[in-house]
Amino acid sequence: LTTVHIESAAKLPLRGNLQADTSYKRVRKRGTDVLVTGRPEQGYFIDIFLGSPAQKFSVVVDTGSSNFAIAGSSDVGIVKYFNSKLSTTFKGKPDKSIKVQYFNGTWQGYFATDIFKFCKTCASDSVDVALITSSSNFFVSPTLWQGILGLGYKNLIQPKPDEADTVLDTLSSKGAVTQIFSIELCGRENQDTTQLNGVLELDATAGTEDGYQYTDIVKQWYYQIELTDLAVDGKSAVDIKSAVKDCYEFNKPHAIIDSGTTNIMLPTVVYWSVLASIEPFSYNATNITPDDSKDTVTQEEIKSFILRNDTLCKEDLQSVIFSWFPEIVISIAYNKTHQSQLTFLHSNT
């Protein structure tokens, strides 16, 4: 495979019919930018507008699901919810109930339709929305968002794909947006050190002249892609020669891009291989301490962290605590003959 290197902050568009063809060089046309905010324990979320007159809410942007849902009544942790009685375009469907279970948390409610737009000046149209009437471990308390915007394919609509349409499908069918979007999770100027600022770019045209790289969607449900390697300090975490044809070990049962979680989840074999590759670097971490701190971290504490026996959190040490961490490179299929590499580096600042 020929390798195409990408910076760790590279943008990876998640929709569109463009195949990963290295000969494709059309200049992209930028679309509408919507601010993405990321905060610890809260995830990544954007502001949206729902109803007539419009009510403003923050919703998690989730490429790992497809339902659009908003709090429709008071719930634990939330400070506001959508008041359907104030919207002249609201059409409730209380007989169409829905319950959605995520990896963590669940909510239930009923379907409705109302006018939606991504920003005050953006095009709007009536979309399917679920009003959340109750939940369990779904809203973070106290939460900075009041709902979730699923950006996945229609096949993931709960409880069944024919129950509703996704926001993106609805708006694109009416010509309000294109089927191409990208999510940049960080990198935008930000004065608040407790959060990250990025951008959700909508309604762009495809092209590779703007630092974007593309990868084929293997299956249109989640954004399922194909991983070709995962290397720790330049060495593959799994012996490629012993891996099953077509990088099976890295894609068992499938590899997906999910903006609704900040974890990198790996197949069992790959996971333990990665931990084994990282562990030797912890020997360099004994008694790490900045000059102005009396706090230290020992090798035993780091090993316990690697084996997931304990957390590794020392306020005084800040990012210095991970200065020993090796470079990790994830390789993604670019097309049948090329691969792209995403590099994750530790930071000492």
Catalytic residue among 125, 246, 258, 310: 258
Q: Is 62 a catalytic residue?
A: yes
Q: How far apart are CA 170 and CA 182, in angstroms?
A: 18
Q: Is 291 a catalytic residue?
A: no
The string of DSSP letters for 43-102 reads EEEEEEEETTTTEEEEEEEETT---EEEE-S--TT-S----GGG-TT-EEEEEEEEEEE-
Q: How many CA atoms lie within 13 A of 191 on its CB side?
A: 0
Residue 181 β-bridge partners: 202
Residue 108, SS3 per DSSP? strand
Q: How far apart are CA 232 and CA 230, in angstroms?
A: 7
Q: Which two tokens stand for residue 177?
A: 């947006």
Q: How far apart are CA 165 and CA 129, in angstroms?
A: 9
Catalytic residue among 33, 62, 229, 291: 62
Q: How far apart are CA 144 and CA 258, in angstroms?
A: 20
Please check whether residue 218 is in contact with residue 228, taking contact to mean a CB–CB distance below 8 angstroms: no
Please check whether residue 338 is in contact with residue 25, taking contact to mean a CB–CB distance below 8 angstroms: no
Using CA atoms, how far residue 196 sits from 49, 76, 343, in Å, is 22, 25, 19
- Catalytic positions are 62, 258
